[in-house]
A and B are shown apart, each in its own frame.
Chain A
Amino acid sequence: MIDIVINITHLAFLAITSIAILRMTNLFAIVMLYGIFSLLSAGLFVVMDAPDVAFTEAAVGAGISTVLMLATLALVKRPEKPYYAEAPRVHRPWLPLAVVLVTGSALVYGTWDIPGFGASDSPAQTHVASYYIDNAVKETGVPNIVTAVLASYRGFDTLGEVVVVYTAAVAVLLLIGGRRSRAVPKTKPKPKGKGDQDET
C-alpha cells in the first residue's frame, strides 16, 4: 500500500517538474529543474526495484548532463542582461498542441489493454527472464544478474555501447576541442586601399 502511494506521489512530482520546465523562460532555472528531474527519476527507479539503473541515472543525469548544460550556458549566454532569458515565442502553439494531443490519445488507446503494472504473468516476464534468473549464477558465478547479462550474455551490446561513448568523445573533441572560441565576423573586412582613403 505504501509502495503504491510513494509511486503515485513520485510520478506526480515528475509530471509537475516537467511541466514547469516547459513553461519557464529562465534557462538557468530550467537546467536546475532538469537536475531535480533526474534525481527524482533516480529515486523512482529505486522504488521500482532497479538499483543499477538508479545509480546510472543519478550519476549520469544529475551529474554529467547537468554539468555539461551549465558549461554550455556559460558559453552561449547573451552579452546583455538578462543573461539567460529565452526569447518570447512568436508562433501560435495550435499545431504542436494538436500533434501532441493526437499522439497522446493514440498512445493512451494503445496502452488500454496491456497487462497492469506489476503483473507476474505478463508476456514480458515469462520468456527469457526466467532463464536468466535461474541460470545466471550457475553459468557465470556472478550474483548480480544485471552485470552478468550486461557483460556476459549480451556482451556484444556493451561493446557497441563503449564504442558509441568513445565516438561521442572524438566528435566533441573535433567540434570544440580547440582552445579559443573564434567568432566569425558578420561583415567582410574592408580592403586595405579603401580604408586608407576614407581616413584621410
Chain B
Amino acid sequence: MDLLIGHYNYWIVIILMMVGLYTVISRGNLIKKIIGLNIFQVSVFFLYISIGNVEGGAAPIITEGVTVYSNPLPHVLILTAIVVGVATTALGLALVVRIKESYGTIEEDEIHKQDHSL
C-alpha cells in the first residue's frame, strides 16, 4: 500500500508518457502528432516536479515561519523547458501549414503516396 501511494505519481506519469508516444507513432494526422508530443512533454515535466516535491513543504519563496521548502531546482529547469516546448510547437505548426499548402493534405499516408508517385 505504501508502495502504491508513494509511486502512484510516477506510474500515472508513465501512462501519460506512453499515451503521448502512442499518439505520435500510430496516428497519421500531423496536428494530432504534435498534440501527442505536447502530452509527452507535460508528462516529463510532471516527473521532474514530482521528484522535487517534499512532503509538508511550501512553495520555494522565503516567507516568515516556514522551515521546509520544496526543491527549487526542478522548477527552474521546467520553466525553461516549457518555454522551449512552446517554441518547438509553434515551429511544428508552421511546418504543418506549409505542408498543407504544398501537398494539399495533412494526413501522413496521403503525403507518402504523393511523394512516392513522383
Contact = CB atoms under 8 A, between A and B. Distances in A.
Contact of A38 (B42, B87, B100): B42
A139 to B, nearest CB: 13
Interface in B43-70: 45-46, 49-63, 68-70
Interface residues of A, number: 95
B84 A117 contact: no
Contact of A18 (B39, B57, B71, B74): B39
Contact of B107 (A18, A87, A186): A87
Contact of A96 (B26, B35, B80): B26
B7 A116 contact: yes
Interface residues of B, number: 86
A15 interface: yes
Interface string B76-94: 1011101111111111011
Interface string A72-93: 1101100000000011011101
A52 B73 contact: no
B86 A60 contact: yes
A48 B60 contact: no
A53 B61 contact: no
Interface string A120-142: 10101100110011001100000
B42 A132 contact: no
A107 B14 contact: yes
For the complex, would chain B's binding face be called helix, strand, loop or mixed by DSSP majority? helix
Contacts of A65: 38, 86, 89
B69 A133 contact: yes
A164 interface: yes
Contacts of B84: 161, 164-165
A117 B50 contact: yes
Contact of B12 (A14, A101, A132, A145): A14
Given A56-B79, A107-B17, A157-B80, A75 B100 contact: yes
B11 to A, nearest CB: 6
Contact of A132 (B73, B78, B101): B73
Interface of A: 4, 7-8, 11-12, 14-15, 18-19, 21-22, 27, 30-31, 34, 37-38, 41, 44-45, 48-53, 56-57, 60-61, 64-65, 68-69, 71-73, 75-76, 86-87, 89-91, 93, 96-97, 99-101, 103-104, 107-108, 111-112, 114-120, 122, 124-125, 128-129, 132-133, 136-137, 143-146, 149-150, 154, 157-158, 161, 164-165, 167-168, 171-172, 175-176, 181-184, 186
Interface of B: 2-3, 5-12, 14-23, 25-29, 31-32, 34-36, 38-39, 42, 45-46, 49-63, 68-76, 78-80, 82-91, 93-98, 100-102, 104, 106-107, 109-110
